[in-house]
Structure 1
Amino acid sequence: MIPVFDGHNDYLQRAVAAGADADRLWAEGDGTGHIDLPRLRQGGMAGGFFAIWIPDPDPGDVAEMARRKDNPPFDLPLPPQVDSRTALPQAFAQAAALLALERSGTLSICRSAAEISAAMDAGRIAAILHMEGAEPLADLDALHVWHAIGLRSLGFVWSRPTAYGHGVPFAFPSPPDRGEGLTERGRALVRECNALRIIIDLSHLNEKGCDEVARLSDAPLVATHSGAHAVCPSSRNLTDRQLRQIADSGGVVGLNFNTGFLAPDGRRAPFRGFDPMLRHLDHLLGILGENGVALGSDFDGAVMPADLPDTAALPRLLDAMLDHGYGRELVERIAWRNWLCVTARSWGG
């Protein structure tokens, strides 16, 4: 079985919500969500980026938002900024959940590419501690605290604004060129991430913000879970110009499995087969090359394709890639090797 190293999942929210049942949720599963240890083993998912994400304190009319996403075109308003005092306790709870998984002996929090390889060789899930939205960071000193805990990947925004930058709204069809770029604090955060060798994730960041990161950063550019705007014109996807910037930096894009960011018509209905995913992969490969494309599922945070309902089904996607004409070496690059290579270039080791 070809292993998979994945660019993004939101499992930690489920672990926190499970409370006292978190250990059982991981070890046995409960029939919900996309991730648990048995399904990871079954699907060959050897590791990935485990995201800390802060939900909106007031999510509004969730059913109405879902209805609009299911019926494009749509252009949803951005939620308001969340302050660090509200975000920090939730971020610590999710980090604690990941540390608890490490104590179980089934997972390792990895701080170098060598540690990822060692965890995979030992049969443990190799986890990168990632933050999706910098709301928990009150200042740059806090970044150093999180780095000491194990943070090695940071997205400045989850769509809504932060003290560091502005994200794209959820809109279809829409370009990602929406709103202002990084704030002054955001530009300082780029420099500090470079100094600490923390990966900066461009996913969710708007186009002006991405341009500023590209101008200021000396590290490979990375989008952990995004798609090709030329195939699906969602605001969350990357234009060819942005893809070329990432390619020029020696960076990587992980393909998001969210159906609304894959389907050319922007609909979230769980489609059958893998044609939309293969169209994105073909397009990404055409610009980024064989070393620049990876997977970034968004498991436990998005609507999945009908034939890829959870991590156990990952071999179906890899088989579809092989049937599409990708050689085994290319499939291995996309499935896991490219993530290991870019972490080595970003962190050293």
Structure 2
Amino acid sequence: MKYIIDGHFDLLSDVAVRRKNGEHNVIERLYYPSFKKGNVTGVVASLFVDSQYLPYGGLSIAMEQIAALHCEINESPDLLMLCTSAEDFRKAASTNKVGILLSFEGSEPISSCLMLHTFYAAGVRGLGLTWSRRNMAADGCDFTGTLKKGGLTSFGIDLVKEAESLNMIIDLSHLSDEGVDDILSITSCPVIASHSNARAIAHNNRNLKDSHLKEIAKRGGVVGLNGCSIINADPGSTPDRKQMISHLDHMFSVMGEQHVGLGFDFCDIFLKSSSAGDLSKMPEYPFDILSGGHKDIPGFLQDLKNHNYSDERISLLAGENWLQAFEKILKN
């Protein structure tokens, strides 16, 4: 497999905390071995601010995470590479490095459209407006689907338009249905959902309706398969690899082969530092279906081959589709 790209990984929340506590070479020591065993050539690293730091700490947390990545790359230049284009990911793979692209998972650190340009200059290329909560830009989906929701605010509309003008990746994961509709109505560019599954298979509010899956595909975007238990199965059901493949089967049937990727959202190693309040809002305690994280990817891809997926389909899913989407969206 030439390219394996994980479209969503909460890497930097842990790396930044460890560096503040005096550690160095965190990715090389703690994460790169799993990347290597999983043949991972690239990841999209989220800039996520846990609720315990809000409403006042969003900017500083995001800047620390960005700085942490730059420091890590400087310390491990033979292993890691900052990516801001599809070509960067190809170059990283050809030189046996792991390429890393920065993307917001929630716009809490951004208080003006002008500020988005500063983050862009620091290497950020993705904008996910929300996590599963409300902020200045939009309503996120909640995990139970019981809260009253709106779409984008006037600031959120301006922010999306600014991101589109910068040729940034606009990520729909975690948005309310109303927010997804708003973004689709005010943009014409390809958009993605970095770590969302099919609501037709699991009715979690985090998953996408078929109409949204179809529109993302129509625009040339990609949806990344999420490997988190509570995204894959309804409460009381069994989330397992077969369930993940059921999502893939449905997404391929609705979207076609060129619009589905991987966005595993591995969370087991980060839950210990998550806010108790955030965890209490989830229908069940989440866990990674691929319990070994990135090192389990080759085994999962073999499962897909055993499920009669062709080598071509698996290659598209593993990384080629992300590269095609990045090619269309990112223009340095």
TM over 0.5: yes
What corresponds to 2:299 in structure 1?
316
CA drift at 1:24: 4.6
What corresponds to 1:92 in structure 2?
63
1:290 to 236, 241, 257: 257
Q: Which amino acid aligns with 2:26?
A: L
Is the CA contact 2:41–2:89 (under 8 Å) kept in the aligned structure 1?
no
1:50-89 alignment runs, 5 A limit: 50-57=45-52, 82-83=54-55, 85-89=56-60
1:214-293 alignment runs, 5 A limit: 214-263=184-233, 265-266=234-235, 271-272=239-240, 274-293=241-260
- Between the aligned partners of 2:253 and 2:161, the Cα distance in structure 1 is 31
Q: SS in structure 2 opposite 1:224?
A: coil
What corresponds to 1:63 in structure 2?
none
- Between the aligned partners of 1:23 and 1:341, the Cα distance in structure 2 is 34
Is the CA contact 2:26–2:72 (under 8 Å) kept in the aligned structure 1?
no
Q: Which amino acid aligns with 1:231?
A: I
Relative to structure 1, the CA distance from residue 112 to residue 98 in structure 2 (aligned partners, 3 Å threshold; closer, same or farther) is same
Q: Deviations over 1:20-39 (max 9, x none)?
A: 4543532232xxxxxx1011
TM-score by length of 2: 0.89
CA drift at 1:108: 1.1
Residue 16 (str. 1) matches residue 11 (str. 2): no
More divergent stretch after superposition (318-327 vs 107-116): 107-116
CA drift at 1:348: 3.4
Q: Deviations over 1:266-311 (max 9, x none)?
A: 3597x55x20011000000011100000000112356211x54211
Q: Which amino acid aligns with 2:243?
A: P
Residue 197 (str. 1) matches residue 182 (str. 2): no
1:74-223 alignment runs, 5 A limit: 82-83=54-55, 85-103=56-74, 104-105=76-77, 106-171=79-144, 174=145, 178-223=148-193
Q: Deviations over 1:118-162 (max 9, x none)?
A: 111111111111110000001011100000111110111111111
Q: SS in structure 2 opposite 1:152?
A: strand
Residue 331 (str. 1) matches residue 314 (str. 2): yes
- Between the aligned partners of 1:110 and 1:267, the Cα distance in structure 2 is 40
Is the CA contact 1:168–1:178 (under 8 Å) kept in the aligned structure 2?
no
Is the CA contact 2:171–2:193 (under 8 Å) kept in the aligned structure 1?
yes
Q: Which amino acid aligns with 2:169?
A: I
Residue 39 (str. 1) matches residue 34 (str. 2): yes
- Between the aligned partners of 2:33 and 2:305, the Cα distance in structure 1 is 25
- Between the aligned partners of 2:47 and 2:184, the Cα distance in structure 1 is 24
Q: Which runs of 4+ in 1 moved over 4 A?
A: none
- Between the aligned partners of 1:157 and 1:296, the Cα distance in structure 2 is 16
Is the CA contact 1:134–1:155 (under 8 Å) kept in the aligned structure 2?
yes
Q: Deviations over 1:145-201 (max 9, x none)?
A: 000111110111111111110001111xx49x9511100111111111110001111
Relative to structure 1, the CA distance from residue 117 to residue 3 in structure 2 (aligned partners, 3 Å threshold; closer, same or farther) is closer
Q: SS in structure 1 opposite 2:195?
A: strand
Gaps of 5+ in 2: 271-285
Gaps of 5+ in 1: 30-35, 59-81
More divergent stretch after superposition (203-212 vs 8-17): 8-17
- Between the aligned partners of 1:109 and 1:192, the Cα distance in structure 2 is 23
Q: Which amino acid aligns with 1:99?
A: H
- Between the aligned partners of 1:112 and 1:24, the Cα distance in structure 2 is 24
Is the CA contact 1:232–1:266 (under 8 Å) kept in the aligned structure 2?
no
- Between the aligned partners of 1:347 and 1:107, the Cα distance in structure 2 is 20
Q: Which amino acid aligns with 1:169?
A: D
Is the CA contact 1:49–1:127 (under 8 Å) kept in the aligned structure 2?
yes
**What RMSD, in angstroms, separates the aligned Cα atoms of the two structures?**
1.9
What corresponds to 2:279 in structure 1?
none
Relative to structure 1, the CA distance from residue 45 to residue 178 in structure 2 (aligned partners, 3 Å threshold; closer, same or farther) is farther
Relative to structure 1, the CA distance from residue 253 to residue 169 in structure 2 (aligned partners, 3 Å threshold; closer, same or farther) is same
- Between the aligned partners of 1:40 and 1:339, the Cα distance in structure 2 is 17
